[in-house]
A and B are shown apart, each in its own frame.
Chain A
Amino acid sequence: MRNVKALFHVNFPTNNWDKMVDFYVNVCGFDQAFVISLADMSKMFGKPYTKEDENTPKISYIRVSPDSYIELNNLTPEGVKVTQSKTSAFHHIAFLTDDIERTAKRFREKGHPLFNNPIEKKPVTEFHKGEDGCLIAWSEDPDGHFIEIMQQSGDSMQERFERKNPIEE
């Protein structure tokens, strides 16, 4: 039996709650699975909480694919400030699409045109294969996390690996 079944979630602390939820739910089209309130968190740690805490979101789980979520952690109620570290080991997340042209159209219509790479950030209209054989374009969420949008070509390195090494359940 495999110990690791899936990338279960990636956690982003944020001071930008509404915009981040809007980006992942409205722009990307993911489902918000559930929200844990500040009061729920206080209950868990046996701390006191107010009526207002019951209506204050603290954690949101947003489903990207089965068993894989973005977990947003709302820092505002506790007054913790996010500092964007240049030395973080994290670089980006990637979502798999089956039609990069359609995804590009959607993002453009929602006001988030895709760009060529995180350094130049030039708008893209044509999509080229990356080193691994996938078509690639980029986006950025409201907190500045880079998002790679990928479409497999049928002969990408990842697909060749999957064909040779099927996962046993």
Chain B
Amino acid sequence: MREFKKFFHLALHVTDLDKSIDFYKRLGCEYMFTLKLDDGRPWLAYVRLNKDQYLELFQIYEDHPLTPREKKITQESDDFFGHLSFLVPDIYKAAKDWAAAGCPLVYAPFRPEIVPLDDISGVHWAAGAADRNWICWIQDPDGNWIEVMEEREDSYQKVFEETHPW
């Protein structure tokens, strides 16, 4: 028997909870609920990515022991946390929908030139990665990089799932 059923959630500390909730809603994810601190202020919010799979967004406060208090949030390429990734069924549709929602995809992070994907007619931007997926990137309001991936038929992940059914 497997020890774990699911990758349940990923927790991020955010500087502006409303802004973060708004961002993930623009991507089409559902806002679920907010837990409050004893003084009534919002503590953390849940956003659904998939069935039984969520983002947990913690509001940063300087003055409450239960909350993160980081003053500065940076995301550098040599940080111990790399990035997160969302699986999409159709990367072109996501690019179009998200550009219309004010969240344009970009070619790649950690590069001197970040090229916005205004022209989604080209295929060059969704470069095949080493694992044979289509990829591009988006950044959340706190600067976390999110790799947006559409699996190709021969992607390593797809081949693994087919040969190792859950």
Give the B-binding residues of A (Cβ under 8 A).
1-14, 28-31, 33-34, 36, 40-41, 44, 59, 61, 63-69, 71, 73, 75, 80-98, 102-103, 106, 131-132, 143-145, 148, 150, 157-158, 161-162, 165-167
Q: Is B130 interfacial (CB-CB < 8 Å)?
A: yes
Set of chain A residues within 8 Å of B29, measured between Cβ atoms: 4
With contacts A3-B93, A6-B50, A59-B130 taken as known, whether A11 is within 8 angstroms of B83 at the C-beta atoms is yes
Q: Which of B69-84 contact A (CB under 8 A)?
A: 70-76, 78-84
Q: Are B82 and A12 in contact (CB under 8 A)?
A: yes
Contact residues in B for A65 (Cβ distance below 8 Å): 4-7, 166
- B134: chain A residues within 8 A (beta carbon): none
CB of B4 within 8 A of CB of A29, answer: yes
Does A93 contact B11, Cβ atoms closer than 8 Å?
yes
Which residues on B sit within 8 Å (CB–CB) of A102? 3
Q: State whether the Cβ of B131 lies closer than 8 Å to any Cβ in chain A.
A: yes
Judging by beta carbons under 8 Å apart, are A1 and B68 in contact?
no
Query: Could you say which residues of chain B place their CB within 8 Å of the CB of A148?
Result: 8-9, 11
Set of chain A residues within 8 Å of B144, measured between Cβ atoms: 89-90
What are 14 A-B residue pairs whose CB atoms fall within 8 Å in the complex? A1-B90, A3-B94, A6-B50, A7-B86, A8-B147, A10-B10, A11-B147, A33-B157, A67-B87, A73-B82, A82-B78, A88-B70, A90-B10, A92-B11
How many chain B residues touch the partner (CB < 8 A)? 70
In B1-36, the 8 Å CB interface with A consists of 2-14, 27-30, 32-33, 35
Contact residue among B3, B68, B130 (Cβ-Cβ distance under 8 Å from A44): B130
| Contact assessment for A7 and B27 in the assembled complex, using a CB-CB cutoff below 8 Å | no
Asked whether A31 and B164 contact (CB < 8 A) given A12-B81, A91-B11, the answer is yes
Whether the Cβ atoms of A162 and B157 lie closer than 8 Å is: no
The CA-CA distance from A148 to B44 in the complex, in Å, is 15
| Chain B residues in 8 Å Cβ range of A11 | 81-85, 147
Separation in Å of the B165 CB from the closest CB of chain A?
A: 9
User: By the criterion CB–CB under 8 Å, are A87 and B4 in contact?
Assistant: no
Name the B residues within 8 Å of A93 (CB-CB): 7, 9-11
A5-B88, A29-B2, A66-B166 known; A61 vs B131 contact (CB < 8 Å): yes
Q: Among the listed A7, A87, A91, A157, which residue makes an inter-chain contact with B71, where contact means beta carbons less than 8 Å apart?
A: A87
CA distance A96 to B92 in the complex (A): 32
Q: Tell whether, in the assembled complex, residue B130 and residue A4 are in contact, meaning their CB atoms are under 8 Å apart.
A: no
16 new A-B pairs (CB below 8 Å) besides A90-B11, A96-B8, A143-B80? A3-B90, A4-B27, A4-B28, A8-B86, A8-B149, A10-B84, A11-B83, A34-B156, A82-B80, A85-B79, A89-B14, A90-B10, A93-B10, A94-B9, A94-B56, A165-B48
Complex: A113 Cα to B107 Cα, angstroms:
42
Q: Does B98 contact A (CB under 8 A)?
A: yes
Residue from B6, B11, B75, B89 within 8 A of A5 (CB atoms): B89
Q: Is the CB of B73 within 8 A of A7?
A: no
B35 and A167 form a contact (CB under 8 A): no
